[in-house]
Amino acid sequence: MERWTLREFEAAARARLDPAHYDYFAGGAGDEVTMRANEAAFGRLGLLPRVLRGVTKLETDVTLLGSHAAVPVLVAPTAFHRLADPEGERATARAAAAAETIMIVSMAATVAIEDVAAAAPEAELWFQLYVQPDLAFTERLVRRAESAGCKALVVTADSPVMGLRERDLRNGFDDLPAHLCCENLRDGDRVRPVVMSPEPSWEHLGLLREMTSLPIVLKGVTHPADARLALGHGVAAIMVSNHGGRQLDTVPATIELLPEIAAAVGGAVPVLLDGGVRRGTDVLKALALGAVAVAVGRPVLWGLAAGGERGVARVLGLLRAEVEHALTLCGCASVHELEPGMVRRPC
């Protein structure tokens, strides 16, 4: 495992997981056009390194909404970690803490947010929320995230309804096994279902802002007009995301959407990106084109399924080493030196 590449982690995860669970993690919506495009688009961009810049020391740290990350590679919120490893989100959080990065804990986690926080007291945690139509219950979730020490609320906006995931339909995967549940949704002696609802609107962002003083990150922005609207609604950061190609199929690759969104935001708030980040060079391209950090979804799940906490730590360490290596090759002493001129788009 110490010498594995990300591809090898994925192969090992595939070999270990129940095939229906592997498909849930790996799959996308519809024809998986968007899912494939996310990765492929990075490959089409070229990096133009600078030379002879006398780099002696590398700076990869970023501070985001008051949280520190030693590398600008965050853990994206993904559901159901106990399908991959018995320790589930506890293991992921410990690995994120060891890697000194931020973990965005999914509302649909299989370990309660309080228990994730207790398992990894050093971890920088943010909490991902699907606004539930029952706003009183939504507020209870927000309070729990605050009390557990989460430093930001990541509101996912790209899921008014679940994407059409044909692998899951084919496999009949529509629920967790009986021994697991979404622990954040316990409510008295029942467990509520996660409701993906088309009801939330921009007004709900206002309600959330009144509900909490936590900074709000809007996840799932792909249209520049929505990025501008988000600024008017007081979001603290914007996350360019097409949900890893799991929601609306044929949305363009996030790295292709990033420049327009970064221009629309104009530096007013930090812009993050996820979708298809698999290499240190992908991270550099996203930063050069205007993101302050990226997040990875499936790579973390491959680490977790292949090797538990150690597997996630290894995946995050691999990405960190690649970021440092690529920065050195690009003649950059700091992630802040990356700029659009270092990325060449195909003519």
Binding interface with ligand 7N5 (CB under 6 A): 79, 108, 194, 243, 246
Interface residues with ligand FMN (CB under 6 A) are 24-25, 38, 76-79, 106, 108, 128, 156, 219, 241, 243-244, 246, 274-277, 296-298
**Is 22 flagged in the annotation as binding?**
no
CB of 50 or CB of 144, closer to ligand 7N5: 144
**Is 264 flagged in the annotation as binding?**
no
**Is 274 flagged in the annotation as binding?**
yes
DSSP-based three-state secondary structure for 21: helix
- CB-based contacts of 224, cutoff 8 Å, min separation 6: 260, 261, 263, 264
Specify the amino acid at residue 336: H
| Given the residues 21, 81, 204, 243, the one annotated as active site | 243
**Is 78 flagged in the annotation as binding?**
yes
276 binds, among ligand FMN, ligand 7N5, none (CB under 5 to 8 A by kind): ligand FMN
128 binds, among ligand FMN, ligand 7N5, none (CB under 5 to 8 A by kind): ligand FMN
38 binds, among ligand FMN, ligand 7N5, none (CB under 5 to 8 A by kind): ligand FMN
CB of 94 or CB of 167, closer to ligand FMN: 167
What's the closest the beta carbon of residue 50 comes to ligand FMN, in angstroms? 28
**Is 219 flagged in the annotation as binding?**
yes
Give the C-alpha separation, 310 to 160, whole Å.
35
**Is 192 flagged in the annotation as binding?**
no
- H or E segment and range at residue 271: strand 271-274
8 Å CB contact between 105 and 126? yes
Q: For ligand FMN, which residue has the nearest CB? A: 297
Burial of 49 (0-12, 13-18, 19+ CB in 10 A): middle
What's the closest the beta carbon of residue 199 comes to ligand 7N5, in angstroms? 16
Residue 207 in tokens: 């309600």
CB of 67 or CB of 197, closer to ligand 7N5: 197
- H or E segment and range at residue 313: helix 298-329
CB of 79 or CB of 237, closer to ligand 7N5: 79
Phi, psi of 280 (to 5 degrees): -55, -40
Q: Are strands 124-129 and 102-105 parallel, antiparallel or unpaired?
A: parallel
**In the annotation, is 336 catalytic?**
no
8 Å CB contact between 174 and 168? yes
CB of 21 or CB of 332, closer to ligand FMN: 21
Q: What is the CA radius of gyration of the chain?
A: 19
Tokens 């529509």 — which residue? 174
- Beta-carbon neighbour count of residue 14 at 10 Å? 16
322 binds, among ligand 7N5, ligand FMN, none (CB under 5 to 8 A by kind): none
Known binding positions for FMN: 77-79, 106, 128, 130, 156, 219, 241, 274-278, 297-298
What are the residue numbers of the active site? 243
